[in-house]
Amino acid sequence: MSDLYHCTYKKVFPVDEYGRPGGFYSLADLPIMEHKELTRSGIILAKNEEEQYYKVQDSEKNFTEWVPMCDVTIVQDARKLLVE
């Protein structure tokens, strides 16, 4: 994959009492209150067609995760990510 593909993806994250990703995804020392599916924006870095996964880099926090292809939506116009 030579081009950058902007996307939105859904993944279950541990969240703190304020609804923000917590645990390893945060520097704040707040307890994890629950696990919740969040929709976030990112950039697709790699694709594993055999296992049907994309490697996505989060736009806000810069961590990378392997996400199932069915939970990723490729955004044609990256400016649309700013509106959401």
- Per-residue pLDDT tens for 2-59? 478 999 999 999 998 888 888 777 767 788 889 999 999 999 999 999 999 999 999 9
The per-residue pLDDT for 41 is: 94
Stronger pLDDT, 24 or 74, i.e. the higher one: 74
- Tell me the C-alpha to C-alpha distance, in Å, between residue 56 and each of 1, 28, 32: 12, 23, 23
- Summarised one tens digit per residue, pLDDT across range 58-70 is 998 899 999 999 9
Supply 12's token pair: 């279950």
Query: CA-to-CA distance for 38 and 59, rounded, in angstroms?
Result: 14
- What is the topology classification, in CATH, of domain 5-83? SH3 type barrels. (2.30.30)
Residue 4: Cβ within 10 Å count:
11
pLDDT at 84 over 70: no
- The domain locations on the chain are 5-83
